[in-house]
Structure 1
Amino acid sequence: MNPIFKRTYSYLFLVPAAIIYFVIFILPTILSFFFSLTRWTLTEWEFIGLENFVTFFNEQSLSIGFKNTLIYAVVTSALKVVLGLLLGVLLTSKIRTKDYLRSVIFFPTLVSTIAVGIAFSMMMHPSQGIINTSLAAIGISGPDWLGDTRLALLSVALVDVWKGVGFATVIYIAGILSIPGEYYEALQIDGGNAWHKFWNIIVPLSRPATNSVIILAFIGGLRSFDLIWTMTKGGPGFTTDLIASIIYKQYQGGFYGLATAGNVILFLIVSALAFPLYTYLNRREVDL
């Protein structure tokens, strides 16, 4: 067999995957960067340079959308980490119904985000929703969850956490179950209690799971759109507008080049925030 062919033979198996990756990811990314510099429709385009980016950054709602996006990403990722860890600890304990509870907690992850948004929009209705109706039954006047400018973004974020915490829990269950039993035996010999087990063994040794949940939840929060749009459409006013919903509004208005520039900006923002965070978390993991 030819030595050169022998060395390259194994790489030939990567060619189909490389072609698919190029067509589905690399090519659309390149085209997005190009069309962000144009004014285009479905049939024609005109090169206008950086005009779309200048216009996008002059959008009145952009500063609100950027702030909301960061708040939404931080709140949802933080709650998924905390709740996912606690549920992971609970569902790896010796309770009898843990297998059933695992399926119940993971179930919301399988439900369509649009369906979840519609269901919770009805449940959070200020006068007819089941949440405020239940509160009224015990003498508590419930707020307008999606109409109050102070609560709307937090309300949607909590729904996002409800839907996504099952996935975080599964990651934590895998991380906790991978911890060697010798650590628990050593702790038992030293007279440690449940708190010591949690704080000194589970928390540090499940750090790879924590890093995965943080990265996935944070990127998901920065890119979130469908739940926000289903529940509030960015309202009331601009109080729940995220960068993704601002971009969608530009598409709705027929400003395709401007919306494409917004997508490029969102891509750069996610990359600028996610890659340093990923590097920092990995460095902490290695130091451990």
Structure 2
Amino acid sequence: MTALTVTESATRKGHPAGARRRSPYPAWFFLPAAIIYGVLFLAPTFASLYFSLTRWTLFNSVFIGLENFVQFFREPFLVQGLVNTVIYAVITSGLKVMLGMLLALLLTSNIIARGYLRSVVFFPVLVSTVGVGITFTVLMHPTQGMINEGLALLGIDGPGWLTDPRLALISVALVDVWKGVGLATVIYIAGLVAIPKDYYEAARIDGATRWQNFWYVTLPLSRPATATVIILSFIGGLRTFDLIWAMTRGGPGFASDTVASVIYKQYQAGFYGLSTAGNVVLFVLIAVLVVPLTMFLNRKQGHE
């Protein structure tokens, strides 16, 4: 059979000359992931949207429309919980960015036991959040805690870290930073190692100082890592619950309540539909704050 005959045969069958038949087999590789995503994310999401419009128990549900949302926004301490959530997210994400960058710069320099120190910095990330919360609750005890006892040896009267309404939220945020800064450091280390050495060599030839190296080379070229740390830390701060509940349970009073802890308290009281509506509100809050932030960071990154 000649090449001309093959071409005519392919054209008659509806296939362009030289085109290979595309096999549908590779598309099946997406099916397991799609099923898992649908079962574990899409189905619960749409179910929660429906149940947020109902008054439900484990055995029945009654459709009540937007009544749960109206009642949720009438919660007396919801506004304080929203403010606390944003403050907590800003504090934790900001400190993780700054400390993560500083630790990454230190741990990518020529220091002794660099590998060991990297392990030490990352270790708190692996520890249970509830365990960390219980441990620091003991350490921050106003009279018997090791932190205030250490301050007393220096002649300093330690505050009530978790009992003072002005300090409770900030104290938990600092513990969150201690636990999560290791992940930010690892992300920054990966970003710094990926920067080509040619830039530093060119800056050295031009007579740049260490500060100029950092400001004009390291900081701009580590922007992808910075964007990743900001987004992950901010999302984690907005949806935080376990550490706050382990350390203060939203107290003293409602001083350290966040949206997540308010939702859990409603669930404990048996208001399942109301707590489901609160979860939808939290989901929308995270989307409204994080999506524009992500677009802004990516846009600034793309222009440089």
Same fold (TM over 0.5): yes
Letter in 2 for 1:156: V
Give the unaligned 5+ runs of structure 2. 1-12
CA distance in 1, matches of 2:221, 2:125: 26
Letter in 2 for 1:178: A
Give the TM-score, by structure 1 length: 0.98
* Runs of 4+ in structure 1 over 6 Å off: 2-5
Give the unaligned 5+ runs of structure 1. none
Task: For residue 22 of structure 2, give the secondary structure of its aligned residue in structure 1.
Answer: helix
Letter in 2 for 1:100: Y
Q: Please, which of 228, 233, 239 is the counterpart of residue 223 of structure 1?
A: 239
CA distance in 1, matches of 2:216, 2:110: 20
1:121-132 to 2 correspondence within 5 Å? 121-132=137-148
CA distance in 2, matches of 1:276, 1:60: 29
In the other structure, the counterpart of 1:27 is 43
CA distance in 1, matches of 2:176, 2:156: 25
In the other structure, the counterpart of 1:50 is 66
CA distance in 1, matches of 2:288, 2:141: 38
Calculate the aligned-residue CA RMSD, in Å. Answer: 1.3
CA distance in 1, matches of 2:138, 2:87: 24
CA distance in 2, matches of 1:30, 1:227: 28
Q: Please, which of 111, 115, 118 is the counterpart of residue 95 of structure 1?
A: 111
Give, in angstroms, the shift of residue 116 of structure 1.
0.2
Give, in angstroms, the shift of residue 8 of structure 1.
2.9
In the other structure, the counterpart of 2:168 is 152
Task: For residue 59 of structure 1, give the secondary structure of its aligned residue in structure 2.
Answer: coil
Task: For residue 128 of structure 1, give the secondary structure of its aligned residue in structure 2.
Answer: coil
In the other structure, the counterpart of 2:203 is 187
In the other structure, the counterpart of 2:293 is 277
Q: Does 1:198 align with 2:214?
A: yes
Q: Cα deviations across residues 51-92 of structure 1 (Å, max 9, x unaligned)?
A: 000000000010000000000000100000000001111111
CA distance in 2, matches of 1:137, 1:85: 33
Give, in angstroms, the shift of residue 10 of structure 1.
1.7
Q: Does 1:165 align with 2:181?
A: yes
Q: Cα deviations across residues 246-276 of structure 1 (Å, max 9, x unaligned)?
A: 0000010000000000000000000111011
Give, in angstroms, the shift of residue 11 of structure 1.
1.1
Q: Does 1:244 align with 2:260?
A: yes
Letter in 1 for 2:162: L
Q: Cα deviations across residues 157-210 of structure 1 (Å, max 9, x unaligned)?
A: 000000000000000000000000100110111111211111111111000000
CA distance in 2, matches of 1:287, 1:98: 35
In the other structure, the counterpart of 1:38 is 54
Structure number with bigger Rg: 2
CA distance in 2, matches of 1:117, 1:181: 41
Task: For residue 6 of structure 1, give the secondary structure of its aligned residue in structure 2.
Answer: coil
In the other structure, the counterpart of 1:287 is 303
CA distance in 2, matches of 1:102, 1:9: 44
CA distance in 1, matches of 2:70, 2:123: 44
Give the TM-score, by structure 2 length: 0.93
Give, in angstroms, the shift of residue 7 of structure 1.
4.7
1:230-269 to 2 correspondence within 5 Å? 230-269=246-285
Give, in angstroms, the shift of residue 5 of structure 1.
7.8
Task: For residue 69 of structure 1, give the secondary structure of its aligned residue in structure 2.
Answer: helix
CA distance in 2, matches of 1:169, 1:211: 13
Q: Percent identity?
A: 62
Q: Does 1:143 align with 2:159?
A: yes
Letter in 2 for 1:239: A
Task: For residue 46 of structure 1, give the secondary structure of its aligned residue in structure 2.
Answer: strand
Q: Cα deviations across residues 98-142 of structure 1 (Å, max 9, x unaligned)?
A: 111100000000000000000000000000000000011111100
